[in-house]
Amino acid sequence: MASEMMHTTNIITILKTQENVLNIKIKQMEKRKTVDELATLEVFSMKVGNIIVKNVCSALWMTHLFKTSILVTKTPLITLKSISKAVINKLPNSIKQLYV
């Protein structure tokens, strides 16, 4: 049963690939500059899908890091402090100033 389960890194790779594919499709659709409602709706739905994929990938990666860190340090409290610092460090500078 364990051999059938995918590793987190494999799932993240698949999600990143899907994100890249969506970005390429969005750019192709925007280059066509079609103005009909269907094309606009299609581009909008692809952008929403891209945001969802990106957020799922980030959440999955943070969960993976959290699990790995607990296995290494054996202390969830230290892990929680480390992850919050890592998340703040990953934020853009304009947003980071609000938290520091």
Q: Rounded to an integer, what distance in angstroms lies between the CA atom of residue 18 and that of residue 24? A: 10
Contact 53/18 with Cβ under 8 angstroms? yes
pTM of the full structure: 0.60
Residue 23 half-sphere exposure toward CB, CA atoms < 13 A: 9
**32: domain range?**
2-74
Give the pLDDT confidence of 15-44 residue by residue, as tens digits. 889 999 998 988 888 888 777 888 888 888
User: Does residue 8 form part of some domain?
Assistant: yes
User: Does residue 64 form part of some domain?
Assistant: yes
User: Does residue 90 form part of some domain?
Assistant: no
User: Does residue 80 form part of some domain?
Assistant: no
pLDDT band at 8 (very low <50, low <70, confident <90, very high): confident
- Residue 99's pLDDT is 44
User: Does residue 38 form part of some domain?
Assistant: yes
User: Does residue 51 form part of some domain?
Assistant: yes
User: Does residue 13 form part of some domain?
Assistant: yes
Q: What's the structural domain count of the chain?
A: 1
Give the pLDDT confidence of 56-95 residue by residue, as tens digits. 888 888 777 777 777 776 666 666 666 666 666 665 555 5
User: Does residue 16 form part of some domain?
Assistant: yes
